[in-house]
Amino acid sequence: MRAPSLAWAATGLAIALTGCGKPASTSASGGEAAAPAAEAPAPTAAEKAATLAALPAPYHTADLAAGEAKFGVCKSCHTIAPGGANMTGPNLHGVFGRKAGTAPGFNYSDAVKAAGFNWDLHHLDSWLANPRTFLPGTKMTFVGFKDPKDRVDVIAYLAVETGYKVPAAAP
């Protein structure tokens, strides 16, 4: 009888997590969603492998399947597709290199708008460890990924799936 109770618990968790998202047709500020950008083709397996290999340590050793699975808890609030909708959280496509608090059409907390940094692997790792202590005043309710390996896997998955470009080497 254990398997059915675990299945019910998983179903309940999925329903609860889905509840924090807003319909894809509206933005977090309640208005209409921005018009989707022209969709870029999905990266190929070879492009994903090249992006992963180009990431600095420890991200280049990440388990992308584990990162995708862990990102499942984020999907109730975030999309990652090019031109994807803002939900309870902003669309994360193109997040790397973007100034915190500037995704178009998303109503950020004052704390995130005033953060003054661009998202990179290090900032995202610190954020995902505990968003509320990293940036007090954020509206994000997620408690964080306590296991550093989980953060490495999720961040690498995001990099591979959201258009991460390896920074150019300094001259």
pLDDT for 5 beyond 80: no
| Number of neighbours of residue 116 by Cβ within 10 angstroms | 8
Radius of gyration, CA atoms only, the chain:
17
Domains, the chain, with CATH or none: 64-165 (1.10.760.10)
Residue-level pLDDT at 167: 77
Mean per-residue pLDDT of the chain: 81
pLDDT of 107-118, one tens digit each? 999 999 999 999
Residue-level pLDDT at 163: 84
This prediction's pTM: 0.75
The residue whose two tokens read 């329903």 is 15
Residue-level pLDDT at 38: 54
